[in-house]
């Protein structure tokens, strides 16, 4: 009896030690994401279960970036590299194709751009409230998936599934982390809907066509954008169209981005009672911690509600 007791105790002890070792191993998983918004999603979900770093320096746009040898080495040394895919980060394609272990492309692995659009079609219900002609961009095909909470959740689900595949002994930890992330995000989402509802009829323009996922999800009234590619200046015809829209539509705000200087905005709004706000598509100032992605959504909502709620003065 004593022999069996000691055998059982030894097995129990080994099991406990193995479990502790698995947990420690999970905390040492090194993830590298291409851009800050993806880092926010992964770090928010995983917390202390992984070390989540980002490849691009703060404020650097994936639209115009060249990899350095040191960056390539970081990609190869990560346990898992997570990127958007060719549609968002073409400069990474060659390096990713040479990896010994497959990278996770959040936009490509399961055709989520079309799936998300179909599954979450209710996000387009704002067209019943606003003229369809006001929106120049459709959700489908938009590579800025982190702007829409439902697509960020789908991205987190993919990250969780890949980690479960790579580290099956820690599957329960990753599954629970995803559930917790989903609950936090749902809570934040409800708060933001209430915050933004009072300004959802107020028109505005953005500098770069990056925010349609957020705009559509919260049924806001974006009248248009200056450019699809922030590295290209809008043409004279485009500026004339925007100026006319600003005058006729009574837009309250134009939102610029911290990554790009837009002196054209100052000249465009001269003589008009238009406020200038700031929206950061790359979350440069948000910390990648548990709750970080929700913090980013909150920052976007705060910028929008602050600018859009300001009263327009009479034109001089």
Q: What is the CATH number of the domain that holds 229?
A: 3.40.50.1980
What confidence tens digit (pLDDT) does each residue in 169-227 have?
Answer: 999 999 999 999 999 999 999 999 999 999 999 999 998 889 999 999 999 999 999 88
- 136: pLDDT strictly greater than 50: no
What confidence tens digit (pLDDT) does each residue in 12-24 have?
Answer: 334 433 443 444 3
Q: Does residue 11 form part of some domain?
A: no
What confidence tens digit (pLDDT) does each residue in 40-73 have?
Answer: 999 999 999 999 999 998 777 776 787 899 999 9
- Can you tell me the distance from the alpha carbon of 293 to that of 273, in angstroms, rounded to the nearest whole number? 33
Q: Does residue 13 form part of some domain?
A: no
Q: Does residue 221 form part of some domain?
A: yes
What was the pLDDT predicted at 101?
83
User: For the chain, what is the domain count?
Assistant: 1
Q: To 5 degrees, how large is the angle CA 184–CA 85–CA 152?
A: 10
Instruction: Specify the pairing of strand 275-278 against strand 221-227.
Output: unpaired
Q: What is the DSSP letter of 281?
A: T
Q: Does residue 49 form part of some domain?
A: no
What confidence tens digit (pLDDT) does each residue in 244-277 have?
Answer: 888 887 789 999 998 776 678 888 888 888 999 9
Residue 80: pLDDT band (50, 70, 90) is: very high
* Torsion sign across C-alpha atoms 104, 108, 110, 113: positive
Q: Average per-residue pLDDT in the chain? A: 82
Q: What is the DSSP letter of 121?
A: G
What confidence tens digit (pLDDT) does each residue in 270-316 have?
Answer: 888 899 999 999 999 999 999 999 999 999 999 999 999 984 444 33
Residue numbers of the domain that contains 295 = 109-316
Q: Does residue 70 form part of some domain?
A: no
Residue listed under structure tokens 């606003």? 130
* Torsion sign across C-alpha atoms 77, 81, 85, 89: negative
């Amino acid at each position: 009896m004593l022999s069996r007791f000691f055998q059982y105790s030894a097995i129990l002890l080994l099991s406990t030690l193995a479990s502790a070792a698995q947990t420690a191993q999970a905390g040492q998983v090194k993830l590298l994401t291409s851009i800050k918004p993806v880092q926010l999603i992964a770090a928010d979900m995983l917390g202390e279960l992984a070390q989540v770093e980002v490849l691009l320096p703060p404020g650097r746009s994936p639209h115009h970036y060249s990899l350095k040898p040191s960056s390539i080495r970081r990609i190869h040394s990560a346990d898992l590299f997570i990127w958007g895919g060719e549609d968002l980060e073409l400069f990474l394609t060659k390096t990713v194709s040479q990896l010994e272990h497959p990278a996770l492309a959040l936009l490509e692995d399961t055709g989520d751009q079309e799936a998300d659009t179909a599954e979450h079609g209710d996000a387009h219900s704002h067209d019943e409230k606003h003229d369809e002609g006001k929106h120049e961009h459709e959700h489908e095909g938009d590579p800025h998936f982190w702007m829409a909470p439902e697509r960020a959740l789908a991205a987190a689900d993919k990250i969780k599934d890949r980690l479960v595949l790579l580290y099956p002994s820690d599957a329960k930890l990753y599954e629970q982390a995803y559930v917790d992330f989903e609950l936090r995000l749902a809570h934040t989402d409800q708060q933001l809907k209430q915050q933004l509802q009072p300004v959802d009829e107020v028109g505005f323009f953005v500098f770069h066509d990056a925010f349609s996922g957020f705009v559509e999800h919260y049924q806001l009234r974006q009248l248009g954008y200056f450019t699809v590619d922030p590295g290209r200046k809008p043409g004279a015809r485009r500026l004339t169209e925007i100026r006319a829209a600003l005058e006729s539509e009574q837009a309250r705000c134009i939102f610029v981005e911290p990554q790009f200087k837009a002196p054209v905005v100052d000249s465009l709004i001269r003589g008009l009672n238009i406020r200038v706000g700031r929206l950061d598509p790359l979350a440069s100032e948000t910390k990648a911690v548990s709750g970080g992605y929700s913090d980013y959504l909150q920052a976007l909502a705060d910028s929008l509600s602050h600018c859009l709620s300001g009263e327009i003065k009479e034109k001089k």
